[in-house]
Amino acid sequence: MKLAARLGAIAPSATVAMTARAKAMAAAGVDVVSLSAGEPDFAPPDLVQEATIAALRAGHVGYTSVGGLPALRDAAARWFSRLYGVPFEAAQVAVTVGGKEALALLFAALLDPGDEVIVPAPYWVSYPAQIRLAGGAPVTVPTRADRGFALDVEAIARACTERTRGVVINSPNNPSGAVYDRETLAELAEVVRAKDLWVITDDIYSALTYDGRPFASLLHVAPDLRDRCFIVHGVAKNWGMTGYRVGFLGAPAALVRACVTLAGQSTTHTATFSQYGALAAVEAGEGVVADWLVAFDARRRRLTAGLDALDGVSCALPGGAFYVFADVRGLLGRRLGADLVADDVQLAELLLEEAHVAIVPGSAFGMPGFLRFSYAASMEALETAIARVGAFVGRLAP
């Protein structure tokens, strides 16, 4: 069978692939600790579950509007107005099949062949693939571990060409856990104005920041850019509702209409009863999951300290999300028996095969030499993972 050329431009999602392998090993009876998925290990709040069941019982199982349940669009517009400090109306918001579809629709609506989009690295695995699928060209701009993976705004400005249309930012960041500060965002706003760009801001982890660090958005520091600032959000991470498949996009009404037209010819909309569950979540606000933050914070500290103590591994305490992005360049070039640990991909393979710990290599996020550990797992699982990785590192010969 001949497949379309566009498939040559993308590979399966590395995070999905690693999680599937870990599940297959577990099903075969292997005691695997899986720290590869980007999924809270807490159940959605009770009020969300009750609203979803009530929606099913009430027969809310038919089609609804392509742009989402009107009540959910209204609720999301009120939430965005609160979160971003600028007024949003329902027409400036659409409900999507997860944050992932919001991104795909935006790229499809905005990009023509050859258009360039700047993607700071490390980045969430799907940005470059989705940009390529939409005919665009991702241009990665690295950040530095020793600067806390903060945006390198000067490098972004230098990477701009006459084909550059926009930038994708993500804070709190997957995989680095970095939380951007207002000063850096204000510097980015200068570049955006000077080069006449748009910005897609993926804020799906907005409620997950630690040490009292506030979530900061480009719109907080540059409300004048609201017509060029396109928001991607969702209920997956802030409320632990990954399988509900409900996301949101926030943008000028004309762009929202264009995205809804695209959705109307592809997915139509996400499940109607899921949207009722999301409505309960958004109306209750992010505060309903405040307890999670306390648990995540303790795990974040334990995992960071446990990994950083290992010879050849270094990581600083991340400010948000639920990932530790560990620098393992100190382990590369060592040997496990006859095997040379040449790169992060091979290291991740060996950790799975030999130590039964599933994590994702940094290469998948555009940053070789690092490994992403998710701490959306119990403290017991993290202790086991730290011990196993430690024992594995101890077996490596220089």
Contact between 106 and ligand PLP per CB under 6 A: no
Among 19, 34, 174, 304, binds ligand PLP (CB under 6 A): 174
The one among 73, 100, 228, 300 contacting ligand PLP by CB under 6 A: 100
Q: Does residue 98 belong to the site contacting ligand PLP (CB under 6 A)?
A: yes
Distance separating alpha carbons of residues 11 and 294, to the nearest angstrom: 36
Q: Which is nearer to ligand PLP, 164 or 242 (CB)?
A: 242
Cβ pair 281, 43 in contact under 8 A: no
Least separation in angstroms between residue 6's CB and ligand PLP is: 21
The CB-nearest residue to ligand PLP is: 98
Size of the site for ligand PLP (CB under 6 A): 13
Q: Does 128 bind ligand PLP (CB under 6 A)?
A: no
User: Would you call 148 exposed, middle or buried from its count of C-beta atoms within 10 A (0-12, 13-18, 19+)?
Assistant: middle
∠ CA 319-321-327 to the nearest 5 degrees? 65
E-assigned strands of the chain?
A: 33-34, 93-96, 116-121, 137-142, 164-170, 198-202, 229-234, 247-250, 323-327, 335-336, 339-340, 357-358, 360-361, 370-374
Q: Please pick, from the candidates 124, 149, 248, 322, the single residue that binds ligand PLP as defined by CB under 6 A.
A: 124
365 touches ligand PLP by CB under 6 A: no
Tokens of 312: 């050849």
Taking CB under 6 A as the rule, which mask of x and - marks residues 143-172 in contact with ligand PLP?
---------------------------x--
Q: At what angle do helices 98-110 and 253-264 cross, to 10 degrees?
A: 110
Closest approach of ligand PLP to the CB of residue 126, in Å? 7
Among 64-72, 92-100, 136-144, 153-161, the segment contacting ligand PLP (CB under 6 A): 92-100
Q: Which stretch binds ligand PLP (CB under 6 A): 62-70, 97-105, 129-137, 382-390?
A: 97-105
Entry field: residues in the chain: 398
Q: Which of 143, 217, 242, 275 binds ligand PLP (CB under 6 A)?
A: 242
Where do runs of H (alpha helix) occur along 61-125?
70-84, 98-110
User: C-alpha distances in angstroms, 131 versus 6, 121, 136, 165, 362?
Assistant: 11, 15, 5, 12, 20
Per the structure block, which two tokens stand in for 176? 């680095």
Binding site for ligand PLP (CB under 6 A): 38, 98-100, 124, 170, 174, 202, 204, 234, 236, 242, 247
